[in-house]
């Protein structure tokens, strides 16, 4: 018999008290998708003309520094101590979530952009929800309903419509992005389990802090430290913009993932893909065809199917409650 004081809803978390406000968690995941779409668009330009390894290391270090006060505030409410197992999991999250995949993703993005296939490389990343859903079922015992299968078909179909068929379907950079995507799916699954015990701000800082340390070691081993220390003012401006977006992503994502199962949560992230396309059309002159508009609509419907009407109403109710002025 299930515990009446906990939620088994896909947008809740098994073992998370019902008072944890899963509606707010879903709203945070939606905010993460918006940030992700903006960040992907910005990073297309931020990484150009610079060493992607040096850029990622500097950006992730700045992000970790930005997260320090957030983690300090969040950890004050944590009634416990970090054990050796906690430190080990945080270090692993930093390695497979905050270090290796960033190197792969930005290297792949640079290669794909040079080959004219940046959008298709981004499509590989938007397939993250498939791997994360499978890992959630296998390792976290999350449930797959018929609604999830239909949603997966809609999300994939919508993303295919969003692709520009005038760009290469596959470039060498796509393979790097795909490898990064699989690592992030594994990290989100591990983080979801870790969040059952630790505050989201602690997990977020662990990911970026340990990740920055691993990246710094990588730069030292490969002799690239000089490239990071000699970046121009313009390059540091891009680092700062990208770091702010990443810090916002981390804060919103891990707070949401604490309350929402990894499958539905990563399904919502797919909304970032149409956001990137809209920004490209508005600011970079990228054509936004009727087929791509239909794709954005199908993706939106797919996310709605994945979550269900009740979950969406709770999310809207949480946002409305936060916006309501207090007496």
Q: Identify the pLDDT of residue 312.
A: 65
Residue 205: the pLDDT is 97
Give the integer Cα–Cα distance in Å for 233 and 212: 21
pLDDT for res 164: 60
Q: Could you give the CA distance from residue 121 to residue 283 in angstroms, rounded to a whole number?
A: 20
pLDDT at position 119, please? 67
pLDDT of residue 161: 79
Q: Please give the C-alpha separations between residue 88 and each of 61, 78, 99, 138, 207, in angstroms, as whole numbers.
A: 20, 18, 15, 22, 11
Which pLDDT belongs to residue 277? Answer: 79
Q: In the prediction, which pLDDT does 315 show?
A: 65
Cβ(13)–Cβ(196) below 8 Å: yes
Per-residue model confidence (pLDDT) at position 35: 97
What is the structure's pLDDT at 323? 63
Q: pLDDT at position 2, please?
A: 37
Write out the two tokens for 161.
């419509």
| Cα–Cα nearest to 264, from 37, 7, 97, 25 | 25
Give me the pLDDT at residue 309, please. Answer: 66
Per-residue pLDDT of 308-327, as tens digits, reads 766 667 766 666 666 666 54
pLDDT beneath 50, residues of the chain: 1-8, 13-19, 327
* pLDDT of res. 201: 96
Contacts of 106 by beta carbon, 8 Å cutoff, 6+ apart: 43, 47, 52, 53, 55, 56
Q: How many residues are there in the chain?
A: 327
């Amino acid at each position: 018999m299930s515990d009446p004081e906990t939620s088994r809803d896909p947008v809740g978390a098994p073992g998370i008290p019902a008072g944890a406000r899963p509606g707010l968690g879903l709203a945070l995941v939606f905010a993460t998708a918006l940030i992700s779409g903006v960040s992907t668009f910005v990073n297309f330009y931020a990484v150009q003309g610079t060493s992607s390894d040096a850029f990622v290391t500097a950006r992730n270090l700045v992000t970790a520094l930005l997260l320090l006060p957030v983690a300090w505030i969040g950890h004050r409410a944590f009634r416990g101590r970090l054990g050796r197992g906690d430190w080990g999991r945080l270090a692993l999250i930093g390695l497979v979530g905050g270090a290796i995949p960033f190197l792969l993703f930005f290297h792949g993005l640079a290669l794909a952009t040079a080959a004219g296939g940046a959008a298709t490389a981004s499509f590989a990343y938007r397939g993250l929800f498939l791997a994360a859903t499978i890992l959630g079922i296998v390792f976290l015992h999350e449930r797959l309903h018929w609604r999830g299968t239909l949603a997966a078909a809609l999300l994939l179909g919508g993303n295919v419509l969003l692709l520009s068929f005038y760009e290469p379907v596959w470039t060498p950079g796509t393979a790097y992005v795909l490898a990064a995507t699989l690592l992030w799916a594994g990290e989100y699954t591990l983080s979801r389990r870790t969040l059952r015990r630790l505050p989201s701000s602690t997990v977020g800082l662990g990911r970026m802090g340990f990740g920055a340390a691993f990246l710094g070691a990588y730069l030292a081993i490969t002799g690239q430290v000089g490239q990071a220390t000699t970046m121009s003012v313009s390059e540091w401006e891009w680092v700062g913009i990208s770091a702010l977006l990443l810090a916002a992503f981390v804060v919103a994502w891990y707070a949401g993932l604490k309350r929402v199962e990894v499958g539905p949560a990563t399904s919502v992230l797919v909304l970032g893909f149409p956001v990137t396309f809209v920004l490209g059309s508005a600011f970079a002159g990228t054509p936004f065809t009727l087929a791509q508009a239909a794709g954005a609509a199908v993706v939106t419907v797919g996310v709605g199917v994945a979550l269900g009407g009740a979950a969406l109403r709770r999310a809207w109710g949480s946002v409305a409650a936060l916006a309501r002025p207090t007496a």
